[in-house]
Amino acid sequence: MRRGLMLFSLILLILMVIFILTETLNTGGTSKEAQLFALGYRVEDQILLKQRFSDDAIQQIIKNHIHKDRLFPYLVHPYFNLHRLNQYEKARETLQLSPFASINYTHLPIALHFTKEDDPSPLPAPFKQTPLVLVNKQFYLESDFEPTDLVYLKDINVVVPGLHERNQLKREAYIALKALFQEAERQGLSLYVLSGYRSYHRQQVIYDQLIEANDDNRMISAKPGHSEHQTGLSVDITTPATNYRLTPDFEKTPEGSFILNYAHRFGFIIRYPKDKECITGYLYEPWHLRYVGKEIAQFIHDHRLTLEEYILYYVPIPESGY
């Protein structure tokens, strides 16, 4: 079967070469195929162009003298738009992005500098209702947004017992967190949930209190609608060793070390890692976990990425945004 396919492909290539040579001779070297050949597109490249682009688009490639070396790096992105090639190239050069990331940035500006507090144009959170929903200082959830599948935490240690809003997560995140806590318990460790889901109203109350106390708290507190807790996928955890407080000292405890080495195995990432403040917009929070699923969490952990970086470099964003 494989040998037959290889033979068919070889015959197709030979026929294409013969066609190009014939057309070149018959038209004095001005056929579409010949012009593409002059721009670096070999026979197999031209087959790909015909599969990917309309005849009008191919004519634009020829008219604008777009060489293969200029075009092909961008074709790894499924939503490449030929008419925006100059914008992709500008983003790539200016921000030192990969071709894939330059397309994502052009379609939806999630670059590494987009977390500025004074950004004049916040945008609705992309990938809403999925584990990749992106909420930060630029992307927000509406005041009436409430995640589906919210459940109260059962059989999990909580700092404030009872049916409180803070003791809720999306079901998928809860199941994963329960497994994580069970593994910690097997290792003789003690983890507690301080805060899970947080409604828009609750965010407003917390933010106003913190900013009134100290304006510098903007680096640790999100504006209403800009808190990941509203997704139902984020959770703040603590331990008796830190007197149930949220503190960077959590990383120095056995529980903190456990989270650093095990959280990704259960689908969680440390959402605001150390030395990534310029990307996330927040100070290091070893206690703040975000559920994204096991496969993505493992990848983010292995490559030392933030969620912003993962989406920018690896998740295809459509031309229309998301």
Whether 44 is catalytic: no
What are the C-alpha distances in Å from 128 to residues 142, 148, 197, 232, 242?
A: 11, 11, 15, 12, 34
Is residue 232 a contact partner of residue 197, using CB atoms and an 8 Å limit? Answer: yes
User: Torsions phi, psi of 160, nearest 5?
Assistant: -115, 95
Helix 171-186 vs helix 254-262: angle between axes, to the nearest 10 degrees?
130
Return the CA Rg of the chain. 26
- Rounded to an integer, what distance in angstroms lies between the CA atom of residue 108 and that of residue 84? 13
The one catalytic residue among 33, 228, 255, 285: 285
Q: Who's near 151: CB < 8 A, 6+ residues apart?
A: 168, 169, 170, 171, 174
- In this structure, of 198-202, 203-207, 232-236, 241-245, the range with the lowest mean pLDDT score is 203-207
SS3 for 285-303, per residue?
EEEEEEECCHHHHHHHHHH
Which of 275, 272, 303 is closest to 285 using CA atoms? 272
- In this structure, of 6-20, 74-88, 204-218, 243-257, the range with the lowest mean pLDDT score is 6-20
End-to-end Cα, the chain, rounded Å: 40
pLDDT of residue 278: 86
pLDDT at 27 over 90: no
pLDDT in tens, 135-179: 998 899 999 999 999 999 999 999 999 999 999 999 999 999 999
- Rounded to an integer, what distance in angstroms lies between the CA atom of residue 34 and that of residue 37? 5
